[in-house]
Amino acid sequence: MSSDVMAIRTAPVADRPWVETLHSWVTTVDHKRLGILYILYALLFLVVAGFEALIIRIQLIHAHNDFVSPQVFNRMFTMHGTTMIFFVAIPILFGFANYLVPLMIGARDMAFPRLNAFSFWLTAFGGFLLYFSFFGGSGLYGAGNAPDVGWWAYAPLTSRAFSPGHSSDYWTVALLVAGFGSIGTAVNLIATILCMRCPGMHLSRMPLLAWLNLVMSGMVLIAVTPLSAAQIMLLVDRYLGGHFFDTQAGGSATLWMHFFWIFGHPEVYILILPSFAFVSEIVPVFSRKPIFGYPAMVGASVSIGFLGMSVWAHHMFSIGMPSYTNSFFTITTLAIGVPTGIKIFNWLGTMWGGKILFKTPMLFCIAFLAQFLISGLTGIMLGSAAFNWQLTGSYFVVAHFHYVIVGGILFALFGAFYYWYPKITGRMLNETLGKIHFWLFVLGFHLTFDLMHIPGLMGMPRRIYTYEPGRGWDTLNFLVTLGAFIQAIATLVFVANLIISYFKGPRAGNDPWDAWTLEWSVSSPPPAYNFASIPKVGSRRPLWDLKHPDDPDSRYE
Amino acid sequence: MLGSTRSAGRGAVVSRAAGILVLLAGIFLAAGLCAANPVNDNSESSIFDPRSANAESLYHLSKFVLSITGLIFLVVLGLLAYAVVKFRNRAGDAGREPAQVYGSTQIELAWTVIPIVIVVVLFVATARVIHAIQDAPKPKSAMDVTVIGHQFWWELRYPGLGVVAANEMHIPVSGPTRPKPTFLKLLSADTDHSFWVPQLGGKTDLIPNRVNQMALEPEHTGIYLGQCAQYCGTQHAKMLLRVSVDSPEDFDAWVRAQTQPAIQDEREAAGRRVFETTACVNCHTIGGTNGTGRFGPDLTHLMSRQTIAAGAAENTTANLRLWIQNPDAIKPGSLMPAMKLTDADLDALVRYLETLR
Amino acid sequence: MSAITTPISATPPAWNLPYRGKVGMACLIIAESAIFTIFVVAYLYYAGKSLAGPTPREVLETPIFYTICLLSSSITIHFASRSLEHGKRGGFLVLLFLTMLLGGLFLFGTGQEWHRLIYEHGLTISTNLFGTTYYSLVGLHATHVTVGLLMMGIVLIFAVAGRVGQEQSARIEVLSMYWHFVDAVWVVVFTVVYILGR
């Protein structure tokens, strides 16, 4: 039946002129196609922002380098950070959520398909708007000029006095527009998960991926909106002469910091929760065991969601808050280590006693576990306010959050690519190229980000375009740059694998990993309507029940 | 489809490789943390080489936090490595699923309670240090310095002593027998900055429209390097800071020198005229002249400083000339304009500036 | 293999999930609440911190009449949606129109107040911190009222054309949720601006 479906779906596409194909993609409201659009869009920006990272790293390869001017360097780190967070990480995770959530909960589409398309295009235009600043950033003043205020855009650096022209406006409007897109998708995901589950899919039977995306979407609703509000205030300041962040008229620079980090820190959890979701799906399948402690995993996710909203000021330990405020944000920050620890231990518990298969997705997940552990521990160091006074604003912080975002989120994402690529395209990714990609990336990652901690401990602040010789930072920075290039090469291997396997990869079949969730019950790629008839489920692992009718999960849950 | 027949031989190789990965991560990080300590000799700003009371207590806290997190790291990574090696799929048992275990309340409870205990311990240790540093009373013997952050230099005012300096801070050494801590009042004239001299203490930001405090209690004389640690604009990188911790005698001598009226050497009247008749006076002050600007550093005792341009260049004749004529060559994007003087005027001006001891 | 059926009991229990429109609107309301919270925080943080006049005490007058208008429109839209649920299309039309009228009156009141502040007291968004925060917060709310009126206007056009029937009552319920939210926000804004902020 599934091969018939595929034949019906693919045959007309091949004959259609490309304009029609393009039109069908641009006007699509299908969650799977929008998911793919999100992912491709994010990959495009991943390459762009990665390129910016390389420019930063080349400039810092030795003391007093003049590869780029300070102005260009400042634009590069601003664009790198903004792009990676808003136009790579969020879209790519939304893309996977879009693609997978309806399939995994047995729905035919998202709750609001047209809102889905609208949200995607908002996000997409946000990214293009940001990059248009290279052409229009200086407005009537002359040549191109991207924003150079850092991705936090601390006031009053963004005021008209310190940021003339329009580069900061492009930054603000781009993020505002993309933020509305994120809110739209979050609303959609919540409505889908709460209202579109197939019969039998109680909340307590949902795959963890759906749970984590539910929590993530809830966080988007209350965390992205403060940033939108602050952006509106910034626009009022810049265009209507308001004084929200105008320190000359009594406005407060610290208010912007609070508003930004009320968004900024939950944002990290918004990104890491979907990554947890991938790991929570991949680790059980390749350990051949169900997830250990499902209720604890759900509880930990929800409590990370709540705690994550109460830690923002740990980014501001150096702004001179009173000692009790610093202590409060220390305890909330450290407390988040508890549910996070529970998650790590449960993944270990899942592997414990299993039969671990070292396919590429699992390799990325194992590396994720080790690296996420380390980033969590450096996070504890940073969470201790007094220790933080030495660490904040230094390269130690840069190393820490790259450990989270690259070592955690990106590794989980790579795992997700290798795991779900067969479902999305119908073809397997090449395992050999996958292993090369993995090992090269691991090498480059550790060379770059392990060593990056040290200059920070030796007094090197972040966001400096150059440094003085003789401080002991040179060799380390050289090695860090070397690692960055190894990562770039590994990423090229990955992109090559994506392209080659799309044409040459072996056919995947419905269920190449012998997995247990609903998406593996349909053909690869799934038909437009997902399920010919809406499935009914009786446990958290419907396909396990199907494959083991003598010993179904429903008996034990 | 159900039977998982997989190449078990390759799986074993891969599992060994995964073990190597885990080790790799550990070695890199451990090497990193160790490396930060011994390299003190050529690094003058490691946080693990504290030279003041506050930096010392931060250092002790950091050792405590590092040892606890290091222990967690070893235990969890050990468990992971064990699981990866022990529970890898082996040849011979392909096709059979392992025992399906769904969880255990006791174990969940254990790995919830133990981290909570660790969190409480870490919190108490941190809160003590926060309280000790932030809520320390100000002794009568303390000296006040007002630090004002500018794009991209430091203005230093000693209200009790009548000294105005820039970029190179002199403070007296403080000891248990003769406590002489320095209390900084941190302000900003434009954007956010952050005061950071790693060997003397943590960071405190300088924020416009806000007054911050910070205490330095250095226990060893010497020169300590720091720099702005909060992105403040184009030349954030070259907003360097050096703190000279002087013996009481040296410090008194420095204060005496700084409170002298500016030297007016009549032989260099031509250079002084250049200073007074160009845009210099809009931004710079030299005592006894008509220059009273505060937008740039006070130059009354320029020659007492080792560096110019906020530490970006050594204070030499050649650098002074370059800095006045083409500041972008030293510090592109700084707010010092290129003065475009004739060679004769430039020579006279530099000669005049070099008399300002 | 595209449909999965696992052995379940012969008579499956009823499978009822919430209406997606309501869940979606509830989510939107949560998100909007966060935006308003930030603006309210900014308003309170800057209350009394303006470096120059005019101050709220000098220029603000409490808009009691227009507040009553807006709050009573919550009641009318509630009964409008009830009428539609029971199939009374005439009653629905009248009550919807009444709601729009009350909402419109409120907007007119805001406009009048702004006109007075700008032309009599010289208070604009760039005058001082009070002006900045006041116009932003009240303006943000007025924008939401306007959006609500536009949505109701669209419904009204369809209703006059006879295209809104009992089948649409769930959707009208969603619209009424939004309107209740806008009214609830006004209670907060009113308290903050006209009571606490003075």
DSSP, collapsed to helix, strand or coil, labels residue C62 as coil
A328, A355, A368, A520, best to mutate vs chain B, most B CBs in 10 Å: A355
Instruction: Please state which of the ranges A429-443, B124-138, B178-192, C1-15 shows the lowest mean pLDDT.
Output: C1-15
Q: How far does A410 lie from chain C, in Å, by closest CA? A: 28
What mean pLDDT comes out for the span B273-278? Answer: 94
Which carries the bigger pLDDT value, residue B25 or residue B304? B304
Identity of the residue numbered C129: L
**In the predicted model, what is the mean pLDDT of residues B128-134?**
95
Spatial distance between the Cα atoms of A248 and B208, rounded to a whole number of angstroms = 8
Q: What is residue B176's predicted lDDT score, i.e. its pLDDT?
A: 83
pTM of the model: 0.93
Q: Please, are residues B123 and A330 in contact by the beta-carbon 8 Å criterion?
A: yes
Whether the link from the prior residue into A156 is cis, omega within 30° of 0, is yes
Indicate if the pLDDT at residue B41 is higher than 50: no
CB within 8 Å of A97: residues ≥ 6 apart: A35, A185, A189, A213, A216, A274
pLDDT at residue B22 is higher than 90: no
Q: In this complex, do A338 and B98 lie within 8 Å of one another by their Cβ atoms?
A: no
* Distance (Å) from the alpha carbon of A427 to chain B's nearest alpha carbon: 16
Q: What is the rounded distance in angstroms from the CA atom of residue C96 to the CA atom of residue C74?
A: 11
Q: Which residues of A touch B97 (CB under 8 A)?
A: 288, 355
One-letter-per-residue 3-state SS of chain B: CCCCCCCHHHHHHHHHHHHHHHHHHHHHHHHHHHHCCHHHHCCCCCCCCCCEHHHHHHHHHHHHHHHHHHHHHHHHHHHHHHHHHHCECCCCCCCCCCCCCCCCHHHHHHHHHHHHHHHHHHHHHHHHHHHHHHCCCCCCCCEEEEEEEECCEEEEEECCCCEEEECEEEEECCCCCCCCCEEEEEEECCCCEEECCCCCCCCEEECCCCCEEEEECECCCEEEEEECCCCCCCCHHHCEEEEEEECHHHHHHHHHHHHCCCCCCHHHHHHHHHHHHCCHHHHCECCCCCCECCCCCCCCCHHHCCEECCCCEECCHHHHHHHHHCHHHCCCCCCCCCCCCCHHHHHHHHHHHCCCC
Cβ within 8 Å, pair A243-C2: no
For residue C133, how many C-alpha atoms fall within 13 Å in the half-sphere facing its CB? 31
Contacts of A397 in chain B (CB under 8 A): none
Average pLDDT, chain B: 88
List of chain A residues with pLDDT < 70: 1-15, 137-144
Count of residues in chain C: 198
**For position B14, what pLDDT does the model report?**
53
Cβ neighbours of A158 in B, within 8 Å:
none
Chain A neighbours (≥3 Cβ pairs under 8 A) are B, C
Contact A527, B17 (CB under 8 A): no
Question: How far apart (Å, rounded) are the C-alpha atoms in residues B344 and B331?
Answer: 24
Do the chains contact at B21 and A370, CB–CB below 8 Å? Answer: yes
Quote the pLDDT of residue B30: 61
Residue pair B45/B211 in contact (Cβ under 8 Å)? The answer is no
Q: In the prediction, which pLDDT does C179 show?
A: 97
Q: Which two tokens stand for residue A527?
A: 């038909």
From residue A362, how far is each of A212, A365, A385, B18, B50 by CA, in Å?
19, 5, 36, 10, 44
- Write out chain C's pLDDT in tens, 198 residues: 444 555 444 555 688 899 999 999 999 999 999 999 999 999 999 999 999 889 999 999 999 999 999 999 999 999 999 999 999 999 999 999 999 999 999 999 999 999 999 999 999 999 999 999 999 999 999 999 999 999 999 999 999 998 998 899 999 999 999 999 999 999 999 999 999 988
Confidence (pLDDT) at C132: 96
A535–C contact, CB cutoff 8 A: yes
3-state helix, strand, coil in chain C (%, to 5): 75, 0, 25
Name the residue of chain A whose CA is nearest to B212's CA.
A320
Angle value at C-alpha B223, between B217 and B226, nearest 5 degrees:
80
What's the pLDDT score for residue B45? Answer: 87
SS3 A257: helix
Under the banding of pLDDT at 50, 70 and 90, the label for residue B15 is: low
Query: Biggest alpha carbon distance in chain B?
Result: 99
Predicted complex ipTM exceeds 0.90: yes
Chain C residue closest to A544 (CA)?
C6
> Which tens digit of pLDDT belongs to each residue from A402-435?
999 999 999 999 999 999 999 999 999 999 999 9
Taking CB atoms and an 8 Å cutoff, what residues of chain A touch B77?
A: 370, 373
pLDDT at residue C14, rounded to an integer? 81
Kindly state the average pLDDT of the residues B93-114: 88
Tokens of B141: 């013997």
**Beta strands at B163-166 and B153-158: parallel, antiparallel or unpaired:** antiparallel
Q: What is the pLDDT of residue B39?
A: 43
Cross-chain residue pair A381–B66, CB shorter than 8 Å: yes
